[in-house]
């Protein structure tokens, strides 16, 4: 892929970490946006994510107020979207590493543009689940491909800013998206949201199609073993399994990468538990109103947005693993505040700290993965990363209700804080980087 002002790292070179003294000063977000390829990917992300927020809000609105769905059915919307990515994610990366990158991304956007239109005709709960699951299946290919594209478009010392820009879109839309979606649903109806989301996928596809892509690196060869000198004798499924195994082995033998993936999964598990329970916490522990719940929820998104910008400004010289430790610690502190101080002001503070700390995990984790993974393994490692994250979120969504019923919401928060502290200790003892990571 070509860039406007900065040349990407050669595909055959071994990635350097942010601690490498040969790397230049980290690029700012403004400098990264001046790269033509990255700028178009960012524009595509903006319109696509905004459309997704509109469609999801419209789906929840229809299920809640027209179909009178219960809490489990509303939670099922999130599970229906995340489950296919969690299940298919690892396998999808095998194909992403072998398919043409531009074709994969443009095709994914085009197919999703068509699938979203099916929501117009949905009038039963399972209709929405089926359409969202189908969209998720296609998204399981687009996500890893986007990660490869960013790695190819941006030099290694600009990856942290590039990831911050992408996540900034997500968190920004989390703050303003519901308000805009509410106005559109109220005045234009749910169909307008579905049409806009479909158009946003078309716009994203056109932007990506306008970018000149270089030929991706050839897939890494399978390591020869006495029982498997080559893969010629294997079936198609056997070759897919060998490719999946190669990506998984790389993660397992890379101590720092394994730690940040587990840290990211723990953070997403906590958010999965936290999301459904915060409303109950406000109602039962704070005896608050809908207004209090809205303010508390918004603080998480605001904390994430502030955290991303603060991290990119103040954390340029800090190690990715140190930032992840700080993020885990920050989430634990926020949960302890919620557990110990059941007041509205402390809830606002705790939610903001949690959101701020989550940014300290997401950006360094993505950056370390992109810097340390060989180009030929980017799809497989990225899709495995994504699969683990979505599995953690689904586990949090499912277990939150069960745990809250048996031990109470505040004790669930305390339990999650303990889990994070244990993970920090385990990472320090067993998963700190120890020299050069083993090759896949």
Cα 197 to Cα 195: distance, rounded to the nearest angstrom: 5
User: Which residues lie closer than 8 Å to 71 by C-beta, 6 or more apart?
Assistant: 276
pLDDT at 18: 40
Average pLDDT over residues 330-343: 89
- Least Cα distance to 140 among 94, 192, 97, 86 occurs for 86
Cβ neighbour number for residue 356 with a 10 Å cutoff? 24
Q: How long, in residues, is the chain?
A: 440
User: Which residues lie closer than 8 Å to 371 by C-beta, 6 or more apart?
Assistant: 15, 16, 17, 18, 156, 159
> Has residue 75 got a pLDDT over 60?
yes
Cα 286 to Cα 280: distance, rounded to the nearest angstrom: 9
> Has residue 347 got a pLDDT over 90?
no
pLDDT at 432: 59
Question: Quick one: tokens of 66?
Answer: 């027209």
Tens digit of each residue's pLDDT (9 = 90 or more) over 363-409: 777 777 777 778 777 777 777 877 888 888 788 877 777 777 788 88
Q: Whole-structure pTM over 0.85, yes or no?
A: no
Q: How many CA atoms lie within 13 A of 116 on its CB side?
A: 28
183 near 207, Cβ under 8 Å? no
> Distance from first CA to last CA of the chain, Å, rounded?
25
- Least Cα distance to 208 among 94, 104, 310, 303 occurs for 104
- Least Cα distance to 325 among 421, 424, 432 occurs for 424
Cβ neighbour number for residue 132 with a 10 Å cutoff? 28
Question: Quick one: tokens of 48?
Answer: 């696509």
How sure is the predictor about 223, in pLDDT bands with cuts at 50, 70 and 90?
A: very low
pLDDT at 222: 44
- Least Cα distance to 369 among 92, 89, 104, 18 occurs for 18
What residues form DSSP beta bridges with 228? 225
pLDDT at 203: 92
63 near 69, Cβ under 8 Å? yes
The structural domains of the chain, ordered by start, are 29-209 (1.20.1250.20), 237-430 (1.20.1250.20)
pLDDT at 225: 39
Taking CA atoms, 190 is separated from 9, 55, 176, in Å, by 45, 8, 18
Cβ neighbour number for residue 286 with a 10 Å cutoff? 17
Cα 70 to Cα 72: distance, rounded to the nearest angstrom: 6
How sure is the predictor about 107, in pLDDT bands with cuts at 50, 70 and 90?
A: very high
Residue reference for tokens 């089926």: 130
Q: Say how far residue 379 (Cα) sits from the centre of its chain.
A: 15
Provide the Cα torsion 6, 10, 16, 19; round to 10°. -10
Tens digit of each residue's pLDDT (9 = 90 or more) over 233-242: 556 666 667 7
How sure is the predictor about 283, in pLDDT bands with cuts at 50, 70 and 90?
A: confident
User: Which one has a higher pLDDT value, 359 or 7?
Assistant: 359
User: What are the b/e assignments for 22-36, b being 16+ CB within 10 Å?
Assistant: eeeebbebebbbebb
Tens digit of each residue's pLDDT (9 = 90 or more) over 12-62: 333 444 444 455 677 777 888 888 888 888 888 888 888 887 788 788 778
Cα 254 to Cα 160: distance, rounded to the nearest angstrom: 20
- Least Cα distance to 299 among 281, 313, 322 occurs for 281
304 near 171, Cβ under 8 Å? yes
Counting beta carbons within 10 angstroms of the beta carbon of residue 101, is it exposed (0 to 12), middle (13 to 18) or buried (19 or more)?
Answer: buried
Average pLDDT over residues 339-366: 85
Q: At what angle do helices 378-407 and 236-252 cross, to 10 degrees?
A: 70
> Has residue 9 got a pLDDT over 70?
no
Residue reference for tokens 């910008």: 309
User: Which residues lie closer than 8 Å to 425 by C-beta, 6 or more apart?
Assistant: none
pLDDT at 134: 93
pLDDT at 221: 46
């Amino acid at each position: 892929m070509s860039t406007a002002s900065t040349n990407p790292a050669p595909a055959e070179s071994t990635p350097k970490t942010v601690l490498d003294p040969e790397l230049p000063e980290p690029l700012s977000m403004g400098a990264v946006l001046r790269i033509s390829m990255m700028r178009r990917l960012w524009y595509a992300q903006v319109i696509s994510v905004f459309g997704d927020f509109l469609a999801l809000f419209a789906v929840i609105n229809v299920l809640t107020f027209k179909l009178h769905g219960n809490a489990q059915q509303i939670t099922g919307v999130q599970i229906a979207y995340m489950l296919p990515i969690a299940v298919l994610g690892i396998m999808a990366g095998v194909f992403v590493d072998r398919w043409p990158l531009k074709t994969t991304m443009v095709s994914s956007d085009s197919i999703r543009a068509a699938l979203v239109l099916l929501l117009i005709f949905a009038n039963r709960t399972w209709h929405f689940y089926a359409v969202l699951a189908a969209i998720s299946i296609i998204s399981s290919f687009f996500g890893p491909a986007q990660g490869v594209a960013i790695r190819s478009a941006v030099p290694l010392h600009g990856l942290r800013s590039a990831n911050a820009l992408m996540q900034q879109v997500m968190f920004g839309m989390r703050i303003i998206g519901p308000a805009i979606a509410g106005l559109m649903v109220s005045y234009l109806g749910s169909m307008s949201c579905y049409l806009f989301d479909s158009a946003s996928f078309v716009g994203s596809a056109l932007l990506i199609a306008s970018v000149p892509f270089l030929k991706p690196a050839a897939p890494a060869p399978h390591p020869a073993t006495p029982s498997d000198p080559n893969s010629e004798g294997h079936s198609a499924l056997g070759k897919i399994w060998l490719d999946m195994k190669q990506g998984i082995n790389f993660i397992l033998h890379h101590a720092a990468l394994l730690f940040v993936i587990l840290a990211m999964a723990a953070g997403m598990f906590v958010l999965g538990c936290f999301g459904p329970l915060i409303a109950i916490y406000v109602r039962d522990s704070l005896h608050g109103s809908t207004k209090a719940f809205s303010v508390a929820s918004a603080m998480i998104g605001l904390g994430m947005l502030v955290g991303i910008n603060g991290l990119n400004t103040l954390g340029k010289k800090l190690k990715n693993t140190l930032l992840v430790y700080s993020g885990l610690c920050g989430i634990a502190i926020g949960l302890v505040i919620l557990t110990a101080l059941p007041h509205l002001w402390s809830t606002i503070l705790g939610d903001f700290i949690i959101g701020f700390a989550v940014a300290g995990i997401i950006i360094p984790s993505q950056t370390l993965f992109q810097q340390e993974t060989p180009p030929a393994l980017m799809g497989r490692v990225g899709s495995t990363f994504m699969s683990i994250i979505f599995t953690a979120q689904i586990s949090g969504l499912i277990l939150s209700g069960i745990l809250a019923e048996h031990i109470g919401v505040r004790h669930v928060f305390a339990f999650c804080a303990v889990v994070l502290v244990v993970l920090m200790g385990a990472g320090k003892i067993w998963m700190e980087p120890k020299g050069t990571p083993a090759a896949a």
